[in-house]
Amino acid sequence: MQRDSHAQMQVSSDKSEVAATADEQDRLSPQTDAQKAKSLDELRAVLGDCRRCKLHAGRTHLVFGVGNPNARLMFVGEGPGRDEDLKGEPFVGRAGQLLTDIITKGMGLRREDVYIANVVKCRPPENRNPEPDEVDSCEPFLKKQIDLVRPEIIVALGKFAVQTLLRSKVPITRLRGNWHTYLGTKLMPTFHPAYLLRNPADKKLVWEDIKKVMKEMQGETA
């Protein structure tokens, strides 16, 4: 009998250890961490010196995001490249300049009118695609950024960002130019500016996509 009760205590103690471990994991999960934040500044503070995935090891700067915290329009790319990693700001290299031209010369907005972020916030080695576990760790922070900014429209830039956000394997050539939804927000997929640097003939396709975004922002049917 004593042995039984000892065994029971042992089982219940083991269970509470398992429960504590699960609680602990929940407290440390990116989703739970991200949900704590009530502003972009708080979200950045929650990220801190983030080591939630292996991309932390190769970064110079964590690239959180920039722009108007109440922007109507948000651009989302894949992840920081070399220039972005060095500066700590998204889309600042040659591709970034092209995005800035699209925003300023094409749309007649200022860069600081929109919000710009990436799916992952640390540069993948050799600019490889982020891996699924890295996306799982970092995407909750992007979701929270979107939740806090509450843009009317998201423009997803490039195959990786588009397919990741839409959970789709459909080629970007078929996804771009058509409206989709991400977390209840209208999403327009288009090519990444870095792709346009290599394929300038496709700039006209991006311009078609951007014109649809502008019409939607003006309240017209695109």
Q: Which residues make up the interface to ligand SF4 (CB under 6 A)?
A: 47, 50-53, 55-56, 62, 120-122, 134, 137-138
Q: Which is nearer to ligand SF4, 141 or 182 (CB)?
A: 141
In a 3-state reduction of DSSP, which class is residue 116?
Answer: strand
For the beta sheet containing 153-157, the strands, ordered from the edge strand earlier in sequence to the opposite edge, are: 66-67, 115-118, 73-77, 153-157, 185-190, 180-182
Q: Which is nearer to ligand SF4, 47 or 206 (CB)?
A: 47
Q: Which is nearer to ligand SF4, 124 or 213 (CB)?
A: 124
CB of 47 to ligand SF4, least distance (A): 6
Q: Which is nearer to ligand SF4, 74 or 103 (CB)?
A: 74
The Cα-based distances of 161 to 26, 79, 132, 194 in angstroms read: 27, 9, 12, 13
Residue type (1 letter), 151: P
Q: Which is nearer to ligand SF4, 33 or 209 (CB)?
A: 33
CB of 128 to ligand SF4, least distance (A): 13
CB of 80 to ligand SF4, least distance (A): 9
Q: Which residue has the tokens 């000892």?
A: 6
CB of 196 to ligand SF4, least distance (A): 25
CB of 147 to ligand SF4, least distance (A): 17
In the chain, DSSP assigns E strands to: 66-67, 73-77, 115-118, 153-157, 180-182, 185-190
Task: Using DSSP bridges, classify how beta strands 115-118 and 153-157 pair: parallel, antiparallel or unpaired.
Answer: unpaired
